[in-house]
């Protein structure tokens, strides 16, 4: 038997187009890759410094932000019923 909470959760769900969902999966995978890149491999590396310039890190974040923006904008443009929530600008 479904509770009112379960029904409310399904009513508020967002259905993404397959292309957008795939793009979000790729972005997630890229974040995992970055995590693995900077994670220590040995105990000696736990406290080791990682030489990474601010520009390098900024480029990583900018690329991810741009990809997320494109994915979200494609979702907005594919929504014909106006049900997509407004974005904060």
In the prediction, which pLDDT does 9 show? 53
Is 84 inside a domain boundary?
A: no
In a domain, 7, yes or no: no
Q: pLDDT at position 89, please?
A: 44
Q: DSSP for 16-73? A: PPHHHHHHHHHHHHHHHHHHHHHS-SSGGGTT------HHHHHHHHHHHHHHHHHHHH
Q: Is 44 a member of any domain?
A: no
- Inside any domain, residue 35: yes
Range of the domain at 19: 12-39+50-78
Assess if residue 86 is contained within a domain. Answer: no
Per-residue pLDDT of the chain (89 residues; tens, 9 = 90+): 455 555 555 666 778 888 999 999 999 999 999 999 889 989 888 888 888 899 999 999 999 999 999 988 887 776 655 554 554 44
Phi/psi at 57 (nearest 5 deg)? -65, -40
Residue 59 lies in a domain: yes
Asked if the structure places residue 23 within a domain, the reply is yes
pLDDT at 5: 53
87 inside domain: no
Looking at the structure of the chain, the number of domains it has is 1
């Amino acid at each position: 038997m479904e509770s009112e909470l379960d029904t409310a959760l399904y009513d508020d769900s967002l259905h993404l187009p397959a292309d957008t969902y795939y793009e979000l999966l790729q972005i997630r995978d890229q974040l995992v890759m970055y995590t693995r890149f900077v994670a220590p491999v040995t105990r000696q590396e736990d406290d080791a410094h990682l030489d990474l310039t601010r520009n390098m890190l900024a480029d990583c974040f900018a690329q991810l932000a741009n990809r997320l923006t494109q994915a979200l904008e494609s979702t907005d443009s594919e929504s014909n019923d106006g049900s997509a929530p407004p974005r904060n600008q």
